[in-house]
Every structure is written in structure tokens, then in C-alpha cells.
Amino acid sequence: METAVYSTGGQELRKINLDDAVFGLNINEDLLWYAINNELANKRLGTACTKDRGEVHGSNTKPYKQKGTGRARRGDKKSPLLVGGGTVFGPKPRDFSYKMPKQAKRLAIKTALSLKAHTDTLKVIEDFDVENGKTKNLYGILNNFGAIERTVIILNEAGKDIERINMLKRAGNNIPWLSFLSVTRLRVHDLFYGRRIFMFETAVKEVSEFYSAHQKRRNTLRGVQA
């Protein structure tokens, strides 16, 4: 698949080829749904907690005698039927996270990238810097592409450019609809719901090499087992 590389001003510079094994897959909607729900479940804190009648502070004695009052029978003040009593079947702290097979996770990421490439939502942009981490400089670049909605920028691996990457992220901290992803830390949820996906030119090559390497290793292992 061929796509254009754009400058920070929005002009087309040249053409590059996208790896069909990463950006040219068929769209598996069920897999995308599964991966997105997995990421959302893993983000849940699960800290909600209520007290049952055994944990509520209060006396265990009967508030009044059993008979002769004309009122309902009460065992103690901690009954769930009384104000201030315990909660019946209330939530307790729990872990909502679960593991997703690595191969399925990688396939879901490649499917999300393919979906954005097919819908022309994914744009490859030349690597750029934001001097002094100024938000207005980064906002001006995004504005050249008309990006004023949910946007994702896929960065190359930091390596020796960690200071440049940090300045870029600093510039984007004040833009609420902007998020950053790295090549090895892609999230299906952000890719799927992103209205604009910008990928650094160097990140395109790194993504292709990273996911192609896993696929080649898998094919090699299959050959050995066979």
C-alpha cells in the first residue's frame, strides 16, 4: 500500500510504501471489540467497597424487646433494613483485569492500523521537533491538518531522541484531545476512536519491523514444529 508523507505545513513531500502485513489486513470487528474491552477492563480500579452488617459499627444488642411493642422484631441496629445499617450484596474490591493472548493483541493492533489506513484517517508526517516544548507551536502544526478533534500521534522509539520526545509530549500536555503513543506501546482503544492518526515517518518503519519480526518468528516456530 502506498501513502504520502506530509510536512509539518501539510504539504505532500513524497510517497512511501506501507507494509501490507501491518497496514493491509482485513478488518476483524470481533477482534477489535475484544481488544478494546480488554483494555478498558484492565484500566478499571475495582476499589468500590461497602460494609455489610458484620462490618458496620454499632451495638449487637436488641434495640427493644421482642414482644409487646407492636413493632417489627429487630435483632440489632446494624440490620440492612434500618438507616445506617449494613448493605446487602454490595460491591467489594475486585480485579477486573484479564489477559489477552499476545498473538491476538498484536493482530488487533495491526487490524486497527489497517482500518485507519483504509479509511484515510492515518497520515504519515515527517519527524519534527517542538522547540522549548511550547504548546502553541504544536497546535499550529496540528491546525495545518485541521486536527481539532480526538488526535493520536505515534512516535518513534525514544533512544537518543528522548529529550526531543519529552519536549513534544510537554507541548501536548495542554491539548485535551491529543494523546501520544510509542511504537511498542500502541493501544487499540486510542487507535480505534482517534479521528486523526499521525505517525512519524521513522515510526512507520519501526512498526513494520516490530510486528513483522513477531510474525516471522511465529512462522519459523511453526516450521520447526512441523
pLDDT tens figures, 11-20: 888 999 998 8
Q: Domains for the chain: give ranges and CATH numbers.
A: 2-42+100-225 (3.40.1370.10), 45-95 (no CATH)
pLDDT band at 28 (very low <50, low <70, confident <90, very high): very high
Look at residue 94 and tell me whether its pLDDT is greater than 90. Answer: yes
CB 117 within 8 A of CB 110: no
Q: How far apart are CA 2 and CA 16, in angstroms?
A: 6
Q: What is the pLDDT of residues 211-220, one digit of tens each?
A: 876 555 555 5
Q: Cell triple for residue 52?
A: 455489610
Does the pTM surpass 0.85? The reply is no
pLDDT band at 120 (very low <50, low <70, confident <90, very high): confident
CB 165 within 8 A of CB 154: no
The CA–CA distances, whole Å, from 203 to 92, 96, 183 equal 43, 32, 6
What is the C-alpha end-to-end distance of the chain, expressed in Å? 32
Cβ atoms within 10 Å of 160's Cβ, excluding its own: 7
Look at residue 225 and tell me whether its pLDDT is greater than 70. Answer: no
